[in-house]
Amino acid sequence: MNGFFEYVGTCMPQLLVGMKLTIIMTFLALILAVVIGLVACLFSISKVKPLNWLSGIYLSVIRGTPLLVQAFFIYFGLTSAMGLRIPAFNAAIIVLCLNAGAYLSEIFRSGIAAVNKGQMEAARSLGLPYGVVMRKIILPQAIRIVIPSVLNQFIITLKDTSILSVIGCGELMRQGQMIVARNFRSFETYAIIAVMYYVVVIFLTKVFQMVERRLANKCSR
């Protein structure tokens, strides 16, 4: 047992570097994904047909293909076809934000649909432009509705980062693979990684539950 804890102390600094990068990747990707998802959502409910088609193609492609395939396509396929070199970290952010953005788009669309349609009709009857109504009346309510789902997507994206070890991004899983390649202690290393993911996810879940309760209390007042 003492040997195991010594091993944990030996590999923990490198794993913590990977965990730090994992969290940074998740935050950056989700910030971009919120923007992409909101734009795709507005395109999907727009009355302009080309915007509907553009959003539909994006959502269909991203939701219809595995994240691993998307990572390989962007990091290896797209760069090879265009003659570019994209750092693994940048490619990982692109893959994560495009993937999460597609799912956030549907979350935002359901949030907008949950807002009473009578509010849009009443505001329009008063002469307010469509864009103003969406920005000032509909979207603030929709965002409050979808916050729990957005927070849940954060956890999903955090766990999805482990897949991107296949393109050489130095997140937690990749750091673990590098350690195993040196000492061949796969059982202990991957057990530690699993515990680290579990602890972070449980911590974030508790934090997000507190946020949801506070929002629920504010809405009930």
Banded model confidence at residue 221, pLDDT cuts 50, 70, 90? low
What are the residue boundaries of the structural domains of the chain, listed by start?
A: 2-220
pLDDT at 14 over 60: yes
pLDDT at 55 over 90: yes
Find which of 101-105, 120-124, 165-169, 208-212 is predicted with most confidence, using mean pLDDT.
Answer: 101-105
User: What is the tens place of the pLDDT at every residue in 182-207?
Assistant: 988 999 999 999 999 999 999 988 88
C-beta separation of 62 from 98 below 8 A: yes
Q: Give the dihedral sign, CA 54/57/60/66.
A: negative
C-beta separation of 112 from 143 below 8 A: no
pLDDT at 66: 95
Q: Per residue in 151-176, is it b (16+ CB within 10 Å) or e — as a string?
A: bbbbbebbebbbbbbbbebbbbbbbb
Average pLDDT over residues 28-50: 91
CATH fold group of domain 2-220 = MetI-like fold (1.10.3720)
CA atoms within 13 A on the CB side of 50: 0
Token digits for 23? 């969290």
174 vs 1, residue with greater confidence: 174
C-beta separation of 101 from 109 below 8 A: no
Q: What is the CA radius of gyration of the chain?
A: 21
Nearest alpha carbon to residue 51 among 59, 60, 42, 61: 42
* C-alpha to C-alpha distances, 123 to 37, 104, 129, 145, nearest whole angstrom: 25, 26, 8, 20
pTM over 0.75: yes
Element spanning 72, H or E:
helix 67-72
Q: Give me the phi and psi of 220, to 5 degrees please.
A: -80, -15
Average pLDDT over residues 146-174: 90
Find which of 32-36, 108-112, 152-156, 167-171 is predicted with most confidence, using mean pLDDT.
Answer: 32-36
User: What is the tens place of the pLDDT at every residue in 104-159?
Assistant: 999 998 888 888 878 777 877 877 787 788 778 888 888 788 888 888 899 999 99
Banded model confidence at residue 163, pLDDT cuts 50, 70, 90? very high
Nearest alpha carbon to residue 145 among 107, 118, 117, 104: 107
Degrees, nearest 5: CA angle 49-31-120: 45
Banded model confidence at residue 216, pLDDT cuts 50, 70, 90? low
C-beta separation of 112 from 138 below 8 A: yes
